[in-house]
Amino acid sequence: MGRRYTVTVRTGAKVRKRRHQRLADALEDVARIAGELSEGTDVRPAGGLLTRRLDPVQQVVGRVELAGPDRLRAGVDVRGDGSCEAFTGRVRRTLVEQRDGETAFAALRRVLS
């Protein structure tokens, strides 16, 4: 049995899981799914008078997580304005810094390769 990678997609209350044998396939799936989620975002600011106001960029509308061998945990958060941020870790998430002209998916691929 080869190494297995699991891609978990969380949108609202829905959770879907997909399995892959290769890291490259799992990363392509993460990029595709997060891209689809970011195209369909249309979130308005939340909160206001009595609670803190949250702009769309502050709201996570979807999360695509990648888990694999050797405690690999990483993923991409899709924000309410359609932007994406890559992270590593599970409980203690660390934001993956993007270089000039680099997408969140390219940054994640760079860190995991």
pTM here?
0.85
Contacts 24+ apart (CB under 8 A), 68-77: 68/3, 68/4, 68/5, 68/6, 68/23, 68/26, 69/3, 69/4, 69/5, 72/5, 72/112, 74/108, 74/111, 74/112, 75/30, 75/108, 76/30, 76/31, 76/34, 76/104, 76/105, 76/108
Q: In the chain, where are the structural domains located?
A: 5-44+54-112
CB of 66 within 8 A of CB of 27?
A: yes
Q: What does each of the 113 residues of the chain score in pLDDT, given as a tens digit?
A: 567 999 999 998 999 999 999 999 999 999 999 999 988 777 777 777 677 777 777 788 899 999 999 899 999 999 988 899 999 998 899 999 999 999 999 999 999 98
Residue that is written with structure tokens 């502050």 in the block: 58
What local confidence, expressed as pLDDT, does residue 2 receive?
62
What local confidence, expressed as pLDDT, does residue 97 receive?
95
